[in-house]
Amino acid sequence: MSGDAPSQNVVTAWARLIRAQRAALAGVEADLKQAGWPPLGWYDALLELKRSANGALRPLELESRLLLAQHNISRLIDRLEAKGYVERRPYAADGRGQLVAITAAGRALIKGMWPAYRAAIQRHVGAKLRNEAEADQLATLLGRLIATEED
Per-residue pLDDT of the chain (151 residues; tens, 9 = 90+): 667 899 999 999 999 999 999 999 999 999 999 999 999 999 999 999 999 989 999 999 999 999 877 788 999 999 999 999 999 999 887 777 899 999 999 999 999 999 999 999 999 999 999 999 999 999 999 999 998 766 5
Which strands, in side-by-side order, build the sheet including 86-90?
56-57, 98-102, 86-90
| pLDDT score for 94 | 73
Cα atoms in the Cβ-side hemisphere of radius 13 Å centred on 118? 6
Give CATH for domain 9-141: 1.10.10.10
Domain ranges of the chain: 9-141
8 Å CB contact between 135 and 126: yes
Q: Write the pLDDT tens digit of every residue in 100-118.
A: 999 999 999 999 999 999 9
8 Å CB contact between 63 and 70: yes
If one counts every other C-beta atom within 10 angstroms of the C-beta of residue 86, the result is 27
Q: What angle do CA 80, 100, 82 make, to 5 degrees?
A: 25
DSSP summary character for residue 128: G
CA distance 45 to 108: 14
| pLDDT score for 1 | 63
| pLDDT score for 150 | 61
| pLDDT score for 148 | 78
Q: What is the pTM of this model?
A: 0.88
The residue among 101, 74, 64 whose CA lies nearest residue 86 is: 101
Q: Write the pLDDT tens digit of every residue in 55-77.
A: 999 999 999 999 877 788 999 99
The residue among 47, 43, 15 whose CA lies nearest residue 28 is: 43
Q: 101: part of which helix (H) or strand (E)?
A: strand 98-102
